[in-house]
Chain A
Amino acid sequence: MSSTRQLTIVQLYSRDMNIYGDHGNVLVLKRRAEWHGYSVKVIEYNPGDSFPESVDIIIGGGGQDSGQDKIQADLLKIGPKLHELAEKGTPILVICGLYQLFGKYFKTQDGHIIEGINLLDIRTTAGPERLIGNIVVESDQFGEIIGYENHSGQTFLGAKVKPLGNVIRGAGNNGGDDWEGARYKNIIGSYLHGSLLPKNPHIADWLIEQAAINKFGNFEPQVIDDRFANLAREHAAKRPR
């Protein structure tokens, strides 16, 4: 295989939106892409950086309130670029804080509106309590998804997005409508930490597959030993909330 088959992963706001295991998602994408035979470049994008020319996968995580304040203006600035990439089918995974800010807005406890980039047709409102605990989701596309949620924002989906899946156990987007996450084009938005990708390697492989097809026209997966992932899923699914 020629060494020119390179995939570039851009991690959005690694400094301020990288709170709890978000590094795990980047690591799993990088290693699995390597195991599938690609060379991988990870670019950490932070406020004020020039946005990379060539981007194959975009990934973003959660942050503290202070982190969200620091990146919001920059996110609005690169919003048009992210729209363009998303419409072209670039695979994107956004978790928790950036999932919220990829939507229309986040409304804080005191009614203040933090504007998002409106790439996902979702609206989020600060909730009265944190939704915390192990969560299991059933998705038409990805089967059973296993993770851990920890958020106070309650997210509601608009007509232009589909949920990532139905909540089997846990709260999900808002604890009310049984939905978790959002899907649009090749974007996955989700509240799931855990980290998400290590215990759900089929989602990681799907993101890599979309990137490879976009760039090279095909994807030839290698067999990866997922015994530990399968056993970790089995044990995690049995744990209390």
Chain B
Amino acid sequence: MAKPYSVLMGKAVRYIARLRGGGSALPGLFVETIDRGFVADALADLPYGVVLISGTNGKTTTTKMVVELLESQGLTVFTNRTGSNFSRGVAAALLGEVSARGKLKADIAVLELDEAHAVHFVDRIPPRYSLLLNVMRDQLDRFGEIDTTAKMLQHIAQATTDTIVVNREDPRLTAVAQTLTGTVRYFGLDDKLLALFPNDDELHGNTKEKTQRPAADVLLQSVGDKATFEIDGKSVSTPLQLQGIYNIFNAAAAIALTRAILGDKLDQPSLIAQLANITPAFGRGEKVMIDGQPCELVLVKNPSGFRLSLRSFDPGGYATMIAINDNYADGRDMSWLWDVDFDSLKTHGVSEVSGIRAYDMALRLQYDDVAVTHVNTDLSRALDNFLKSNQDKPKRIYCTYTAMLALRRELAKRTEVEVVS
């Protein structure tokens, strides 16, 4: 239970910040400054403890899935929903949820944390469960080397008190798992799907033979109209609202984690029914309707994520726009665009390229012989032109983080969109 004084002060700052329309993390920063133990205290007495989700790609969508799957099992779940995935974001989210006496009314906390923040977080608050999704090259100007990221995930896994759920198709993660003394469970892919999910080494020209992989608790067997999972040795098929094969693989991760948490108490039919209803998270393939046509926003943050997104979505019949910013949250270095292969866009071309670094993107496409119709660094004008030029077509926009925030604000002026700041 958190100290009532910290809660009171924090809630006051949160109230004032909201009146001013300010950022979501400020009250969290404040309360952590006056009371370093605030988050640990508030999360201390949860019956099912704390769950941590980390990895380079897919954290936000997977966290959303895990939360909804746990809710389908009757649990009250606390999560850092605003996507502010570091400690002060968790503190800010907690301020909104704890009672004035510091009590959090939840059975379990499911938190999405950046690797770099998670390593410090687990030293103060050891998670009961953790889920390690993947290690891929992220913005190296922020995170340094990929091996460093793997070490961070190892630290998180070592701090976990009950069960660690691990992607068995990521060789850096299985190497981490082999060093652990705690319980490890795996999720994985059927052999015939492996080629669709290159790991980081394979994305960079290293195509070694697959070595023997550990047995998986949950296996994604096939995708199509329905997705088929092998759960504890039995096949289960279900239609899904989630798009993109990459999201569907993360669903296998979410099922494996939910199974680890609930054990014998799991109600599998409710779990599968809920899975079929889950929609993509904010900016991860979500759709808005404009002029009677769907417009999908696909967040791209790093080369592996961009490549996997391009593999996941068929450009046929769609108008495509790409918006690349280089603010700090996007990564300032444009080198990453050169590690993405844009061949799949060659047949249909790209209708609009925008963002602060629109010309870097257009230049990248030139070298893959992808035709570009318009380039405009101004996002608002580029979006107008994109919508006007493709009125009768479904649309898809690949965008970096700050470009997505700006595009959502622009879309909100034109249609109903939930704007998250």
| Interface of A toward B, CB cutoff 8 Å | 14-15, 18-21, 23-25, 27-28, 31, 44, 64-66, 130, 132-134, 148, 150, 193-195, 198-199, 225, 228-229, 231-232, 234-236, 239-240
* Residues of B117-169 whose CB lies within 8 A of A: 137, 140-141, 144-147
Q: Does B48 contact A (CB under 8 A)?
A: no
Whether B336 pairs with A134 at a CB distance below 8 angstroms is no
Whether A239 pairs with B335 at a CB distance below 8 angstroms is no
| Interface of B toward A, CB cutoff 8 Å | 137, 140-141, 144-147, 201, 204-206, 326, 332-339, 356-360, 362-364, 366-367, 375, 377
Contacts of B339 in A (CB 8 A): 20-21, 23-24
Residue of B nearest to A21 (CB): B335
- 15 inter-chain pairs at a CB distance below 8 angstroms, sorted by A residue, are A19-B137, A21-B338, A21-B339, A23-B338, A148-B333, A150-B141, A194-B335, A195-B334, A195-B338, A198-B360, A199-B363, A228-B366, A236-B360, A239-B356, A240-B332
Whether A64 pairs with B362 at a CB distance below 8 angstroms is no
- Considering residues B140, B336, B358, which has the most beta carbons from chain A within 10 angstroms of its beta carbon? B140
Residue of B nearest to A224 (CB): B366
Complex CA–CA separation, A235 to B375 (angstroms) = 13
Contacts of A229 in B (CB 8 A): 363
**Candidates B141, B338, B375; contact of A132 at CB < 8 Å:** B141
Whether A133 pairs with B205 at a CB distance below 8 angstroms is no
Determine chain A's interface SS by DSSP, over half rule: mixed
Complex CA–CA separation, A14 to B358 (angstroms) = 28
Whether B335 pairs with A133 at a CB distance below 8 angstroms is no
Whether A24 pairs with B206 at a CB distance below 8 angstroms is no
Whether A19 pairs with B360 at a CB distance below 8 angstroms is no
Residue of B nearest to A25 (CB): B338
**Candidates A21, A228, A234, A240; contact of B336 at CB < 8 Å:** A21
Whether A28 pairs with B377 at a CB distance below 8 angstroms is no
- Least CB distance from A214 to B in Å reads 25
**Candidates B332, B356, B364; contact of A148 at CB < 8 Å:** B332
**Candidates A15, A24, A193, A225; contact of B204 at CB < 8 Å:** A15
Whether B140 pairs with A19 at a CB distance below 8 angstroms is yes
Residue of B nearest to A24 (CB): B338
Complex CA–CA separation, A106 to B141 (angstroms) = 21
Whether B326 pairs with A239 at a CB distance below 8 angstroms is yes
Whether B332 pairs with A235 at a CB distance below 8 angstroms is no
Determine chain B's interface SS by DSSP, over half rule: helix
Contacts of A25 in B (CB 8 A): 338
Do A65 and B332 contact each other (CB < 8 Å), given the known contacts A228-B359, A228-B363, A236-B360? no
Whether A20 pairs with B334 at a CB distance below 8 angstroms is no
Whether B338 pairs with A18 at a CB distance below 8 angstroms is no
Complex CA–CA separation, A65 to B150 (angstroms) = 14
Residue of B nearest to A238 (CB): B356
Contacts of B333 in A (CB 8 A): 20-21, 148, 150, 193-194
Contacts of B140 in A (CB 8 A): 19-20, 150
Do A15 and B363 contact each other (CB < 8 Å), given the known contacts A148-B332, A150-B140? no
- Considering residues A134, A225, A228, which has the most beta carbons from chain B within 10 angstroms of its beta carbon? A228
**Candidates B146, B205, B326, B338; contact of A14 at CB < 8 Å:** B205
Complex CA–CA separation, A210 to B334 (angstroms) = 28
**Candidates B141, B145, B358, B363; contact of A198 at CB < 8 Å:** B363
Residue of B nearest to A234 (CB): B359
Complex CA–CA separation, A28 to B363 (angstroms) = 10
Q: Contacts A15-B206, A24-B338, A198-B360 given; 7 further ones with Cβ under 8 A?
A: A15-B205, A21-B336, A24-B337, A65-B145, A150-B141, A198-B364, A236-B357
Contacts of B360 in A (CB 8 A): 198-199, 232, 235-236
Whether A134 pairs with B332 at a CB distance below 8 angstroms is yes
- Least CB distance from B146 to A in Å reads 7
Complex CA–CA separation, A44 to B204 (angstroms) = 12
Residue of B nearest to A31 (CB): B367
- Least CB distance from B400 to A in Å reads 14
Whether A64 pairs with B367 at a CB distance below 8 angstroms is no
Whether B363 pairs with A64 at a CB distance below 8 angstroms is no
- Least CB distance from A155 to B in Å reads 19
- Least CB distance from A49 to B in Å reads 13
Complex CA–CA separation, A14 to B337 (angstroms) = 17
Complex CA–CA separation, A66 to B204 (angstroms) = 15
**Candidates B146, B201, B332, B336; contact of A239 at CB < 8 Å:** B332
Whether A235 pairs with B338 at a CB distance below 8 angstroms is no
Complex CA–CA separation, A239 to B335 (angstroms) = 15
- Considering residues B144, B332, B358, B377, which has the most beta carbons from chain A within 10 angstroms of its beta carbon? B332
Q: Report, nearest first, the 6 A-B pairs whose CB atoms are least far apart.
A: A24-B338, A21-B335, A232-B359, A231-B359, A228-B363, A21-B338
Contacts of A130 in B (CB 8 A): 144
Complex CA–CA separation, A150 to B147 (angstroms) = 16
Complex CA–CA separation, A209 to B364 (angstroms) = 23
Whether B335 pairs with A193 at a CB distance below 8 angstroms is yes
Whether A24 pairs with B335 at a CB distance below 8 angstroms is yes
- Least CB distance from A133 to B in Å reads 7
- Considering residues A14, A18, A23, which has the most beta carbons from chain B within 10 angstroms of its beta carbon? A23
**Candidates B145, B326, B334; contact of A64 at CB < 8 Å:** B145
Contacts of B201 in A (CB 8 A): 15
Contacts of A24 in B (CB 8 A): 335, 337-339, 364, 367
Complex CA–CA separation, A240 to B327 (angstroms) = 9
Do A198 and B362 contact each other (CB < 8 Å), given the known contacts A18-B204, A19-B140? no
- Least CB distance from A127 to B in Å reads 14
Complex CA–CA separation, A158 to B358 (angstroms) = 40
